[in-house]
Copies of this chain bind each other. A is one copy, B any other.
Amino acid sequence: MLVSALLTSVGINSGLCVLFFTLYSILRKQPSNYDVYIPRLLVEGTSTRRSGFNLERLIPSPGWVRRAWKLSEEELLSSSGLDAVVFMRIITFCLKVFLVAGIIGIFVLLPVNCTGDQLEDVDFVDFSNNSLDVFTISNVASGSKRLWVHFCAVYIVTVFVCCLLYYEYKYISSKRIAYFLSSKPQPHQFTILVRSIPVSAGSSISDSINSFFTEYHPSTYLSHLVVRRTNKLRSLINDAKKYYKRIIQLQSNPTQRSHGCFNCFGLFSRNVDLVDHYEKKLEDIEENVRLEQSEVSLAGEEIHAAFVSFKSRYGAAIAFHLQQSTNPTQWVTEQAPEPHDVYWPFFSSSFIRRWISKLVVIVACILLTILFLIPVVVVQGLTNLSQLEGWFPFLESLLTITFVSEVITGYLPSLILMLFLKTVPPVMELLSSIQGYVSHSGIERSACDKVLWFTIWNIFFATVFSGSVLYQVSIFLEPSNIPSKLAVSVPAQASFFIAYVVTSGWTSASSELFRLVPLVWSLIRKPCTKIKDDELEVPSIPYHRDIPRLLFFGLLGITYFFLAPLILPFLLVYFCFGYIIYRNQFINVYAPRYETAGKFWPTVHNSMIFSLILMHAIAVGIFTLKKLSVASTLIFPLAILTLLFNEYCRKRFLPVFTAYPAEVCLKVLHCKTLSQGGSKFSYFFPHPLYSLLEFNTITAFKSCTLTLTLAFILSEFDKERQGRRE
Contacts and interface: CB of A to CB of B under 8 A. Distances in A.
B328 A655 contact: yes
Nearest to A318: B318
Contact of A329 (B322, B480, B651): B651
A430 to B, nearest CB: 24
Number of copies: 2
Given A219-B219, A479-B477, A648 B355 contact: yes
A341 to B, nearest CB: 23
A464 B664 CA distance: 56
Contacts of A329: 651-652
B215 A328 contact: no
Contact of A661 (B325, B652, B655, B656): B325
9 contacts: A216-B666, A317-B322, A321-B322, A322-B661, A323-B661, A324-B661, A327-B652, A329-B652, A474-B480
A726 interface: no
Nearest to A317: B322
B322 A318 contact: yes
A215 B478 CA distance: 55
B651 A355 contact: yes
A322 B662 CA distance: 6
A656 B321 contact: no
Interface in A666-682: 666
Nearest to A332: B651
Contacts of A655: 323, 328
Given A474-B480, A477-B479, A662-B216, A651 B328 contact: yes
Given A644-B359, A648-B355, A177 B318 contact: no
Contacts of A480: 474, 477-478
A601 to B, nearest CB: 15
| A interface, over-half SS | helix
A478 B481 CA distance: 9
A326 interface: yes
Nearest to A217: B662
B219 A328 contact: no
A398 interface: no
A565 B217 CA distance: 56
Contacts of A326: 173, 177, 656, 661, 663-664
The 10 closest A-B pairs by CB, nearest first: A323-B661, A477-B480, A328-B655, A321-B321, A322-B662, A478-B478, A323-B655, A216-B666, A324-B662, A318-B318
A179 to B, nearest CB: 13
Given A478-B477, A480-B477, A325 B663 contact: yes
Nearest to A363: B640
Nearest to A177: B326
Interface of A: 173, 177, 215-217, 219, 317-318, 321-329, 355, 359, 474, 477-480, 644, 648, 651-653, 655-656, 659, 661-664, 666
Most chain B beta-carbon neighbours within 10 Å: one of A321, A322, A655: A322
A655 B355 CA distance: 16
A324 B660 CA distance: 9
Contacts of A325: 661, 663
A479 B646 CA distance: 26
A88 B278 CA distance: 77
B323 A662 contact: yes
A652 B351 CA distance: 10
Contacts of A177: 326
A480 B474 CA distance: 8
Nearest to A474: B480
B328 A661 contact: yes
A624 to B, nearest CB: 16
A655 B323 CA distance: 8
Contacts of A474: 480
A173 B323 CA distance: 15
Contacts of A664: 326
Nearest to A655: B328
A474 B325 CA distance: 46
Nearest to A650: B328
A355 B477 CA distance: 31
Nearest to A328: B655
Contacts of A324: 661-663
A216 B477 CA distance: 50
A633 to B, nearest CB: 16
Contact of A652 (B317, B328, B478): B328
Most chain B beta-carbon neighbours within 10 Å: one of A324, A652, A661: A661
Nearest to A662: B322
A233 to B, nearest CB: 34
A663 B216 contact: yes
A324 B326 CA distance: 25
Contacts of A477: 478-480
A377 to B, nearest CB: 25
A149 to B, nearest CB: 31
B656 A328 contact: yes
Nearest to A477: B480
A597 to B, nearest CB: 14
A195 B76 CA distance: 39
Given A216-B663, A328-B655, A359-B644, 19 more contacts: A215-B666, A317-B322, A318-B321, A321-B322, A323-B656, A323-B659, A324-B661, A324-B662, A325-B661, A325-B663, A326-B656, A326-B661, A326-B663, A328-B661, A329-B651, A355-B648, A477-B480, A478-B478, A479-B479
A621 to B, nearest CB: 15
Contacts of A661: 322-326, 328
A322 B660 CA distance: 9
Nearest to A478: B478
Nearest to A669: B216
Contacts of A215: 666
Contacts of A659: 323
A211 to B, nearest CB: 12
Nearest to A173: B326
A51 to B, nearest CB: 53
A181 to B, nearest CB: 10
A329 B648 CA distance: 10
A334 to B, nearest CB: 14
